[in-house]
Amino acid sequence: MSCCVASVLTEDFIAVIQSARLPKEGETIHGHNFFIGFGGKGANQCVQAARLGAKTAMVAKVGNDSFGDSYIQNFKDNGIRACGCLHAGENAIVIVAGANMMLNKEELQDALAAITSAKVLVCQLEISPQMSLRALRMAQENKVTTIFNPAPAIPDLDPDFYRLSDVFCCNESEAELLTGSSVNNVEEARCASRELLRRGCGAVIITLGAQGCVVLEAPESTSKHVPTTPVSAVDTTGAGDSFIGALAYYVAHYPAMRLEEVARRAGQVAAVSVQSMGAQSSYPHKRDLGAELF
């Protein structure tokens, strides 16, 4: 039976509805599966990194309500240190994200120890761009490897984001918005990666769904196409976050590994995630994956 999956992503939650086909405009049809799961890009990325075995901390702001409480509980259930805006040392990976744009610089300052003692910091654009930039600066000044995911995408990205990113990782549509050129295939992704690298990042990864990703590292001028495992995809929601969470895990745990190999392994983790429904609900644990990935 053909199957459609409609996913509604809010910043914090994801609703997934499965039906035989998509409804036409104005039409009501029956779905045969519906569930709500936890979401938010930063949260997804953090959960994936934690499930692979990384010690993770989340710098986030959640509402003071039952949704916020269950959101925090979900972090705890996944072994992630989180307490609204948290203070923690000794984490391999820190993810800065937020349920809203209200995370302020005092709260970020409270997370300084967590950020500067981590091996890797991952930021997206779920908090205000100024707070993301500030967090990236804190990391860079303390030699913490930075991974920046320019999502949700904005066209007029502050140029400092490129200079503060050791790894700048985006998908096709984000690359397209940022470069102004179409990115629909490997060749176009290679061009876009050159343009993004030129803006000052240490490396660029552009993910291409079932086609894997393109990796370009400074000072190289030749990008690498890293194919992914062909799988039968059920629901690709959150695949990009699974990829980034895994990327952070491998960068933190295998610092000497070539980025191309890191991306190959992250792609294999994400390829597992597309074989079941939802975002976090589909993310594999280390125990679910082959020993060759570790």
First-to-last alpha carbon distance for the chain, in angstroms, is 36
Supply the minimum distance, in Å, between the C-beta of residue 105 and ligand ATP: 29
The closest alpha carbon to 12, from 284, 282, 279, 285, belongs to 279
- Interface residue with ligand ATP, options 236, 245, 250, 251 (CB under 6 A): 236
Give the Cα separation of 14 and 267 in Å (integer): 22
Site for ligand ATP in 243-272 (CB under 6 A): 243, 267, 270-271
Count of residues that bind ligand ATP according to CB under 6 A:
21
Beta carbon nearer to ligand ATP, 75 or 243? 243
280 binds ligand ATP (CB under 6 A): no
122 binds ligand ATP (CB under 6 A): no
**Beta-sheet pairing, 93-96 with 56-59:** parallel
The amino acid sitting at 51 is: R
177, 195 in Cβ contact below 8 A?
no
Give the Cα separation of 231 and 72 in Å (integer): 33
216 binds ligand ATP (CB under 6 A): no
Give the Cα separation of 39 and 44 in Å (integer): 6
Beta carbon nearer to ligand ATP, 9 or 83? 9
- Interface residue with ligand ATP, options 145, 171, 223, 282 (CB under 6 A): 171
Supply the minimum distance, in Å, between the C-beta of residue 249 and ligand ATP: 14
Give the Cα separation of 114 and 80 in Å (integer): 13
Give the Cα separation of 233 and 212 in Å (integer): 13
284 binds ligand ATP (CB under 6 A): no
Beta carbon nearer to ligand ATP, 13 or 243? 243
Place of tokens 């029956």: 30
231 binds ligand ATP (CB under 6 A): yes
Q: Does 146 carry a binding-site annotation?
A: no
Give the Cα separation of 103 and 107 in Å (integer): 6
113 binds ligand ATP (CB under 6 A): no
Give the dihedral of Cα atoms 287, 80, 37, 7; nearest 10 deg.
-80
Give the Cα separation of 173 and 152 in Å (integer): 10
Active site residue 241: yes
Determine the interface stretch with ligand ATP among 64-72, 108-116, 178-186, 202-210 (rule: CB under 6 A): 202-210
Q: Does 44 carry a binding-site annotation?
A: yes
The closest alpha carbon to 122, from 185, 200, 205, belongs to 205
Phi-psi region of 36 (alpha: psi -120 to 50; beta: other; left: phi over 0): beta
Beta carbon nearer to ligand ATP, 26 or 155? 155
190 binds ligand ATP (CB under 6 A): no
Beta carbon nearer to ligand ATP, 91 or 228? 228
207 binds ligand ATP (CB under 6 A): yes
Q: Which residues are known binding-site members for ATP?
A: 171, 207-212, 228, 240-241
Q: Which residues are known binding-site members for substrate?
A: 40-44, 126, 241
* Residues annotated as catalytic (active site), given as ranges: 241
Interface with ligand ATP (CB under 6 A): 171, 207-210, 212-213, 228, 231, 233, 236-241, 243, 267, 270-271, 274
